[in-house]
Amino acid sequence: MNHAAPDPERAAATLRSRLAEADRVLITAGAGLSAAAGYDYGDEDRFRELFPALHGHGLRSRYLVGVPLPPELLWGYWAVHINDIRFSPAPNPLYRRLRALVGEKDHWVMTSNVDGLFARNGFPPERIFTPQGDYGRYQCAIPCTGAVWDSEPLVARLLAAYDPGTGAVTDPGALPRCPDCGGAVQINVRVGPEFVDAPTAPHTTGSTTG
Ligand SMILES: [Zn+2]
C-alpha cells in the first residue's frame, strides 16, 4: 500500500459511493473548476493568443479588474473575453462529466463562476445560484434602475467593430450606453455595491423530489 501518492481511481470510487448514498447533492464551485475546464485566467499563452495588443501593452493575464483602460480597449477586451468564456458553443467535457456524475440525483449548484458553464452543460438553470453575477448580462454603472440586459447582442456588436491589431473597438457608436440614463454600463458581475443582484436570486420552482 502506498499512502503517500494520491489515487484518483480510489478517490473517484469513494465519490461515487458517497453520491449513491446521498439523498441530495449540493455542488459548490469556484474559479478552480473553470480553470480545470480550460479557462485559466492566469494562462499567459492563452492571454497573448486572444489579446495580442494588450499583451504588447505589458498586460499578462485576464485579471484586469481595476486596470484603467480607455473605453475602446476595455470594451474590446470584454467582447473577446466574454465571447470566449461565456458564449463558446462547444460542450465542455469537464462540466459534462460532472453533470453525468450527479445523474438524476436531486441537486443544487452554487458557484462564484460567472461563465454560465453549468447551465450550458446540462445543469438546470433554475437549480444554479450565481451570487457573483453572469457575463451574459450587463447593467447601468450607477445603477439608475435595477434593469439588466442580455450581453450577447452587445458582444456581437463590439466584435463587429473590434480591431485585433490594436485591441480597440474602432466605432465609438458600438460602445454601450445605459438605455435608461445614457450613462456608462458595466458587466453584471459583483465588483462593488452598484452590482444589481436581483437576477441572481435563487428561483423557487419546487423540488424535483416529492
Ligand atoms: Zn442608467
116-160, pLDDT tens digit by residue?
Answer: 999 999 999 999 999 999 999 999 999 999 999 999 999 999 999
106 domain-assigned: yes
In-domain check, residue 202:
no
Report the separation in Å between the CA atom of 142 and the middle of ligand 1, taken as the mean of its atom positions. Answer: 6
Inside any domain, residue 114: yes
How many domains, the chain? 1
pTM above 0.75, yes or no: yes
CB environment 71-98: b (16+ within 10 A), e (fewer): ebbbbbbbbbbbbebbbbeeebeebeeb
- Is the confidence at residue 109, as pLDDT, over 80? yes
- Asked if the structure places residue 87 within a domain, the reply is yes
At 202, the pLDDT band (50, 70, 90 cuts) reads: low
Residues whose Cβ atom is located within 5 A of ion ligand 1: 140, 144, 178, 180-181, 183
Rounded to the nearest angstrom, the distance between the alpha carbon of 138 and the centre of ligand 1 is 11
Tell me if 206 is assigned to some domain. no
Would the pLDDT of 2 be above 90?
A: no
3-state DSSP assignment of residue 185: strand
> Do 191 and 64 touch, CB atoms closer than 8 A?
no
Give the three cell numbers for residue 143.
445603477
CA of 194 to the centre of ligand 1 (A): 11
Identify each DSSP E strand in the chain by its residue range: 24-29, 106-111, 128-129, 133-140, 148-150, 162-163, 168-169, 185-189
Residue 4 has pLDDT above 70, yes or no: no
Question: What are the cell numbers at 71?
Answer: 473605453
> Does 3 fall in a domain?
no
pLDDT-derived band at 208 (thresholds 50, 70, 90) equals: very low
Using CA of residue 13, residue 106, residue 27, residue 63, what is the dihedral sign?
positive
Its domain, for residue 141, covers: 9-195
In a domain, 207, yes or no: no
Grouping H, G, I as helix, E, B as strand and the rest as coil, residue 200 is helix
Contact 123, 99 (CB under 8 A): yes
Does pLDDT of 37 surpass 50? yes
**Would 4 be classed as within a structural domain?**
no
For residue 93, name the pLDDT band (cuts at 50, 70, 90).
Answer: very high
Q: What is the pLDDT of residue 207?
A: 42
Average pLDDT, the chain: 92
